[in-house]
Structure 1
Amino acid sequence: MVPLRLLLWSARWAILGSADSALWGVKSIKGSCHNFCTAVSEDVTYEELKNRLNSKSIMLIDVREKWEILEYGKIPGSVNIPLAEVSEALQMNPKAFHEKYNEAKPSRSDRLVFSCVAGVRSKKALDTAISLGFSSAQHYAGGWKEWATYECSEKKEIN
């Protein structure tokens, strides 16, 4: 009779190819857990975003295309860096970043929040930023749609 422990080890060996692969798999899971466990909560609510923008404690990066900003508008104080440019932009030297986006380049410890229309592209930008070492990055999942809805209802209440 073969011990259960040996059967399990043999199964891992067969699936991953070797003992080294089995150990590598465990190490990679540990590494990815570390990245997720040390990251700040990923989502920002409308209220949190509005408060942070008012206190100027974040850089809000809108990852929509330029034509979307022109056609639909943007959250005041946001910087437009289309999703396709996010990785390159976050790796630029500070002078090039300032010349292209007219803002100071954020450091890896700065609080970044990404937004788009409804959270899909901002989540991709968030993943990119975290992979580049921006550990305090977050995203506004509600995006422009939610922001515009809240802002329109606040203006109606005032009038």
Structure 2
Amino acid sequence: MDTNSVDFEELSSNLSKLILIDVRCREEASQEGQIPGSFCVPATTIKLAADLTQEEFKERYGFDKPSKEAPLVLYCKTGVRSKNAYEQLTALGFTNHRHYSGSLIDWQNNGGDVVKTQFGHMS
């Protein structure tokens, strides 16, 4: 595992110390569930999200826009989109972010809880 990624043990023991971002589309996140406490910011909207004002970001995504130094962990279903999102954030100047390489499948395989969330029309 590279230093840019986290595993189940590290993530589960540090959930309260970081911002967990689900980069799947909202429809997929609603259908399959999310890791508790995570927020959905689809990978396809990351550049747009970075350009939004604080107010626009909170209205669209439902939480405060993180700073470029905020401790972020990204995940998806298998780790492919989270790795891509990690690279996008790096290019945008983020400095304290990592990705969960095993993502939702690994989380569930390790007995992690999943919660169902309903989203509005935006994705």
Q: TM-score, normalised by structure 2?
A: 0.85
Instruction: Find out whether 1:79 has 2:26 as its counterpart.
Output: no
Which of residues 57, 69, 80 in structure 2 aligns to 1:97?
Answer: 57
Match runs of 1:76-155 below 5 Å = 76-151=36-111
Q: Which structure has the higher relative contact order (CA within 8 Å, separation 6+)?
A: 2
> Which runs of at least 4 in structure 1 moved beyond 3 Å after TM superposition?
none
State yes or no: 1:66 paired with 2:26. Answer: yes
Give me the identity figure in percent.
36
Aligned twin of 2:9: 47
**What is the alpha-carbon distance in structure 2 between the residues aligned to residue 102 and residue 65 of structure 1?**
15
Superposition deviation, residue 82 in structure 1: 1.0
SS at match of 1:151: coil
* Counterparts of 2:71 and 2:50, CA distance in 1: 13
| 1:8-23 matches, cutoff 5 A | none
How many Å apart are 1:60 and its aligned residue?
0.8
- Over the aligned positions, Cα root-mean-square deviation in angstroms equals 1.7
Stretch moving more, 141-150 or 89-98: 89-98
Letter in 1 for 2:38: S
- Deviation of 1:111 after TM superposition, in Å, equals 0.8
User: More helix by proportion, 1 or 2?
Assistant: 1
By how many angstroms is 1:91 displaced?
Answer: 2.4
How many residue pairs get aligned? The number is: 112
Unaligned runs of at least 5 residues, structure 1: 1-39, 153-159
The aligned residue for residue 25 of structure 1 is: none
Deviation at 1:41, TM superposition (A): 2.3
Shift of 1:50: 0.8
